[in-house]
A and B are shown apart, each in its own frame.
Chain A
């Protein structure tokens, strides 16, 4: 004989519950948390190296780096003068909320305005795991192909902003920036768009201005 027991629970309920606790904590402490997601090599760390020193003139910042192995990215951020903590997942393809929780004792949230989480380079898995962030920014770079948003729609849907990076190479890569952003906006019409190059320093000031606005909104108690 057998019987059925109804469960009606989300599979990731534990992660989601912890993420919501973190979100409440970040709200109480008025810390803006941005989760940066992309394929490996899209230039997330380069973007951060470029924008964080400028943001740090006005705000108190820290970075959590997620990678399978090495402290390389955290060291790059530290060289830019920003506090960084490296999570090495040891093979896992994404960060989870408990990893963020475990990293938090390394930061003084009472003296922080912006916490950046640079997720493991992967356009699939991080979409499913809420980290308690205010929003995700997805980075797509021109060597990847302009149909990337159409291939990875879940991440596009999960993100609030898209950065097309390495636009200085667009011509050589035959990457149509407008087409890429058009694909993305058909999947998620509310995406805020940025077009950047860390080589030519294009578009980075727009991104900085956007993040500053979001930090101010968080201080004012407006949810992201």
Chain B
């Protein structure tokens, strides 16, 4: 359950951003999580809700965007989506595929109360 550590790190960044911008209340937090990031969505939501209590983000909902795995074949150049973890080019079969997206564990933006 490393989602608790990830939720805490996420909250740390959110709280820091809120303080820097003199924000009173965070309404939502949007994150991009790649399918390769090995994060269980429900565990992350659960941990976020438990840890946000008593912080500037206690009213915030967590919006998780699933980012698909996209790889580019270095042999034939095909750029394609992969639905499993075996990166054999769908065109030429090469395993020399560079992952372009799907590893994200990023915060995108936060929505805050504006006076």
Contact = CB atoms under 8 A, between A and B. Distances in A.
Interface of A: 1-15, 92-94, 96, 124-125, 127-129, 150, 153-154, 156-157, 185-187, 189
* Chief secondary structure at chain A's binding surface: mixed
A9 B13 contact: yes
Closest 5 CB pairs of A and B: A153-B85, A125-B2, A154-B38, A7-B107, A3-B114
A137 B66 CA distance: 29
Range class of the B interface residue count: 35 or more
Given A11-B6, A124-B38, A157-B36, A4 B105 contact: no
Given A5-B112, A13-B13, A154-B37, 18 more contacts: A1-B114, A3-B114, A5-B17, A7-B17, A8-B109, A9-B107, A11-B105, A11-B107, A14-B12, A92-B5, A128-B2, A128-B37, A128-B38, A128-B39, A157-B85, A186-B95, A187-B85, A187-B86
A126 to B, nearest CB: 8
Contacts of B95: 185-186, 189
Interface of B: 1-2, 5-6, 9-10, 12-14, 17, 21, 23, 27, 31, 36-39, 85-88, 95-96, 105-115
